[in-house]
Chain A
Amino acid sequence: MGIEKFKELDPIYTQPYDPTLAEKLYNPEKPMENRITDIGPPYFWQFMPPVIQKNYGKWVSHEIIQPGVLKYKSETGDVVYVVRCGTPRLETTDYIREICEIADKYCGGYVRWTTRNNVEFHVTDEETLKALIEDLKNRKHPNGSYKFPIGGTGAGISNIVHTQGWIHCHTPAIDASGVVKAIMDELFEYFGSHKLPAKTKLALACCLNMCGAVHCSDLALVGIHRKPPLVEDERLEHVCEIPLVIASCPLGAIKPATAEVDGKKKKTVRINVDRCMFCGNCYTMCPALPISDGEGDGITIVVGGKVSNRITPPEFSRVVIPYIPNEPPRWPTTVKWLKKIIEVYSQYANKYERIGTWINRIGWERFFELTGIPFTEKCIDDYRLAYTTYRTSMHFKFTKHVDEVFNAPENYKVELFK
């Protein structure tokens, strides 16, 4: 089929939407009739404003003139100003329409989103920029939250990339949008300012499938389960393909079995709970193995990862708090610890140090001491490649942990995160 690589706006978008057309074209008896396939997304060029088209590949430098506001200079002498606003990612078409209204009013109808769920408005003169910023600041939801908070640049906290959570996913251990809202409300000042030692990227994944790069974030939250799946003997053989379920377990903890339900033999499975690592992979393959549990599920906090190659190579985040219970609607314990980590980092890190590079300089033992996060055996890896994380040198620091355990072991208590 193929649609033209439009360099100018495809005229189809100027025609109004016809809500009755599809029913005329689609014939359930002949599903291939009138079907257009494999056309891909619209060609991006038609959606870029004239100043961007003209200066494509010609930009020479940029400057953040205030948090959330950038100025780009081109070798042609052109400039473009960009206002970056955080969005909640989960939104309605009315919110998108409001973005369109703003883009129509100030930006000739062009708008862009960033990888981290920010929306960006582009203007070419300072007067329009001022009016745009003023307008954005004054747009609020009925209960007072900003619709378009300006920020997300430089040495601050970026908008959180996250997953669906309880609003739309079938495997989550935690909510996503609600947790993000609770965190960003508390860390709001850092989104619209440049006062941290470096850029700090936050991410949230509501289960271990992690449909986002949370494993390489400065600070990330991961939803985890802590109870093995239930086995619905009665239903399992009807809704699951047993060989697939068995194959889905990374630790081989699932075995085929038969069970008697109401005098009838049923094919089912048994789970070796001692080997279960609560990954939920089996539930992904079989709805008769529900794993979610209000008491069992909760949040793991991981820190210190990054993807940029700046100064040091990309790195994984590491588990520092293995479990915090779900506490809707505002997850106070999770928010408290995140804020604590940010504040300690802000106080002790050098300029340009990301959370991970700061910790690598001071040592993890110092990180645990400074933040007051209790260290437990749960933070010691026992999965694949665990050995690479053991300390095999004399390079360590004497923090309070040594004193407490080796000089006065009776004083040492593993605190629970409650």
Chain B
Amino acid sequence: MGEVKKHDTPKVDQLKTGPWPSFVDDIYSYAEKHKNQACFDIMGQMELSYTNKETHWKHGGIVGVFGYGGGVIGRYSDQQEKFPAIWAFHTVRVHHTAGKWYHTSALKKLCDMWDSRGSGVVNFHGSTGDIILLGTVTDQLEPIFFDLTHQLHWDLGGSGSNLRSPACCMGKSRCEWALIDVQELDYELTMAFQDELHRPAFPYKFKFKFSGCPLDCVAAVARADMSFIGTWRDDIRIDQEAVRAYVRGELKPNAGAFSDRDWGPFDIKKEVIDLCPTKCMYWDENEQKLYINNSECNRCMHCIAVMPEALRPGQDTGIAILIGAKAPILEGAQLSTLIVPFMKVEPPYDELKDFIYKAWDYWMENGKNRERIGELIQRVGLNKFITEVMGLTPIPQHVRVPRDNPYIFWKEEEVEGGWTRDVAEFRKRHPA
């Protein structure tokens, strides 16, 4: 290895200052310390992009290691002469752990591997959830995979028209509102669907995300083709003494989330009762007691979030399943649609797996190329998807409002006497 070649990067260098962690300082420090040409080159190419305001990466057809249809994204620089060290700069997706917990012994070993076989540049984490290793050459892909599997017991994540790496919130590991064991569910489904994750199976990408409660910290409702969100169906647990402590100002409302501004003394009427979307709560000033009409509650969790020491979700918990979220490409953005309002789930989650296969089989059979399942549901109609595809009985919870037009696709068997009619008979009653 000869001397490293540094590039002038006056524009990129302006991102070294300011309080927020500077990735430029980080990458340059790494480049200097390890005499890493790829890091100097990537900063050089970034400077070129900052000058002409266009990317300088192009795409290659590489998808993965042998036998895998995902986990690697091929990437090439269009500035081969200027920045030869990043001529090929492929991305490797390493499947994050459920809840993104790590032990440093594993992380340090992963870093050792990446220093040895890649650029040293990473993302913790990519948008879908994976740990992203940015920048290696084609010849290193197989050795990286062998190192990952043999020395780290670690597999690649999904890409392309595969199941993408599922992701969940911190769940029961730290959150008192985790209504389902999202981490175990995430892990079990990830393992059950390894084939779908590594090899193309579908018309397009498919994402699972698991949130422990309706606050939805992993944005399951906006990002996942199948969103699993924890909920409960019994009563909110109330500690009346703690409620009174909030009212008396002895406990910090919202766990201290508003601490840097004077919003005045806590007002349970204004801040909880009046903001309840279903108006199912009542604070009796005389009794100093909080009443909740639980059957009218829609479990938005506002009251619980404001008074976490006093209120806790119920204990009869399960998951809701919503289907079909996606970003705008192509038919416009979609949020997931409620399909199953409540389901009890226990390992090994067989009932859930059957549900998933049912949806997948229909999508694989009927989805068009690059059509997400949410778009397919729109195309065939939610009513048909619920009844004919999933075999469920429609309930009012499936819609926000009923349809406003009576253009109903009646089927022949639903209409008395069928559709075959005798014109002669008709004309007997109605001469033309």
* Closest CB pairs A-B (n = 8): A154-B257, A185-B18, A210-B327, A294-B53, A22-B143, A141-B25, A100-B104, A184-B20
User: A380 at the A/B interface (Cβ < 8 Å)?
Assistant: no
Contact with B along A13-39 (1 / 0, CB 8 A): 111111101110110100110111111
In the complex the two chains form, is A62's CB within 8 Å of B255's CB?
Answer: yes
User: B329 at the A/B interface (Cβ < 8 Å)?
Assistant: yes
In the complex the two chains form, is A112's CB within 8 Å of B53's CB?
Answer: no
In the complex the two chains form, is B300's CB within 8 Å of A310's CB?
Answer: yes
Complex CA gap A64/B79 in Å reads 49
Complex CA gap A140/B107 in Å reads 22
In the complex, which residues 253-291 of chain A have their Cβ closer than 8 Å to any Cβ of chain B? 279, 281, 287
| Best-buried of B46, B106, B219, B258 by chain A (most CB within 10 Å) | B219
Complex CA gap A13/B144 in Å reads 16
Knowing A112-B101, A169-B55, A247-B369, the reply to whether A37 touches B68 (Cβ < 8 A) is yes
In the complex the two chains form, is A111's CB within 8 Å of B257's CB?
Answer: no
Taking a contact as CB atoms closer than 8 A, the residue among A15, A103, A115, A210 that contacts B217 in the complex is A115
Known: A115-B219, A216-B219, A385-B332. 9 other contacts (CB 8 A): A9-B105, A39-B155, A90-B27, A100-B111, A115-B218, A143-B25, A213-B219, A281-B330, A316-B333
| Size category, B interface | 35 or more
Knowing A21-B150, A72-B176, A94-B33, the reply to whether A309 touches B59 (Cβ < 8 A) is no
User: B115 at the A/B interface (Cβ < 8 Å)?
Assistant: yes
Query: What would 26 A/B residue contacts be, using CB atoms closer than 8 Å?
Result: A13-B105, A15-B151, A37-B68, A39-B153, A60-B312, A89-B125, A90-B27, A91-B23, A93-B111, A110-B102, A110-B103, A113-B100, A113-B102, A143-B17, A144-B19, A154-B254, A165-B55, A167-B134, A168-B75, A181-B18, A209-B329, A213-B327, A326-B53, A329-B50, A330-B15, A351-B271
User: B431 at the A/B interface (Cβ < 8 Å)?
Assistant: no
In the complex the two chains form, is A37's CB within 8 Å of B198's CB?
Answer: yes
In the complex the two chains form, is B154's CB within 8 Å of A41's CB?
Answer: yes
Contacts of A375 in B (CB 8 A): none
Contact with B along A24-61 (1 / 0, CB 8 A): 01101001101111111111101110001000110111
Contacts of A305 in B (CB 8 A): 222
Complex CA gap A305/B17 in Å reads 31
Contacts of A59 in B (CB 8 A): 172, 174-176
In the complex the two chains form, is B100's CB within 8 Å of A64's CB?
Answer: no
Knowing A168-B91, A250-B331, the reply to whether A328 touches B143 (Cβ < 8 A) is no
Knowing A52-B173, A90-B123, A170-B55, the reply to whether A193 touches B95 (Cβ < 8 A) is no
In the complex the two chains form, is B174's CB within 8 Å of A12's CB?
Answer: no
Complex CA gap A115/B124 in Å reads 10
Complex CA gap A104/B108 in Å reads 11
User: B169 at the A/B interface (Cβ < 8 Å)?
Assistant: yes
User: A124 at the A/B interface (Cβ < 8 Å)?
Assistant: no
Knowing A199-B257, A330-B14, the reply to whether A89 touches B103 (Cβ < 8 A) is no
Contacts of B83 in A (CB 8 A): none
In the complex the two chains form, is B187's CB within 8 Å of A43's CB?
Answer: yes
Stretch at the interface among A80-88, A364-372, A398-406: A80-88
Stretch at the interface among A125-133, A145-153, A229-237: A145-153
User: B226 at the A/B interface (Cβ < 8 Å)?
Assistant: no
In the complex, which residues 288-326 of chain A have their Cβ closer than 8 Å to any Cβ of chain B? 292-295, 297, 305, 307-312, 314, 316, 326
**Closest Cβ neighbor of B58 among chain A residues:** A170
Knowing A188-B20, A210-B329, the reply to whether A92 touches B26 (Cβ < 8 A) is yes
Stretch at the interface among B188-196, B349-357, B384-392: B188-196
| Best-buried of A41, A147, A307 by chain B (most CB within 10 Å) | A41
CB distance from A159 to the nearest CB of B (A): 9
In the complex the two chains form, is A309's CB within 8 Å of B300's CB?
Answer: yes
**Closest Cβ neighbor of A294 among chain B residues:** B53
In the complex the two chains form, is A213's CB within 8 Å of B222's CB?
Answer: yes
User: B57 at the A/B interface (Cβ < 8 Å)?
Assistant: yes
In the complex the two chains form, is B120's CB within 8 Å of A92's CB?
Answer: yes
In the complex the two chains form, is B260's CB within 8 Å of A195's CB?
Answer: yes
Contacts of B258 in A (CB 8 A): 154-155, 194, 351
In the complex, which residues 306-329 of chain B have their Cβ closer than 8 Å to any Cβ of chain A? 306, 308-309, 312, 327-329
In the complex the two chains form, is A141's CB within 8 Å of B29's CB?
Answer: yes
Contacts of B277 in A (CB 8 A): 311-312
Taking a contact as CB atoms closer than 8 A, the residue among B112, B149, B271, B300 that contacts A39 in the complex is B149
Knowing A40-B194, A145-B20, the reply to whether A193 touches B260 (Cβ < 8 A) is yes
In the complex the two chains form, is A38's CB within 8 Å of B195's CB?
Answer: yes
Taking a contact as CB atoms closer than 8 A, the residue among B95, B120, B298 that contacts A41 in the complex is B95
In the complex the two chains form, is B122's CB within 8 Å of A115's CB?
Answer: no
User: B281 at the A/B interface (Cβ < 8 Å)?
Assistant: no
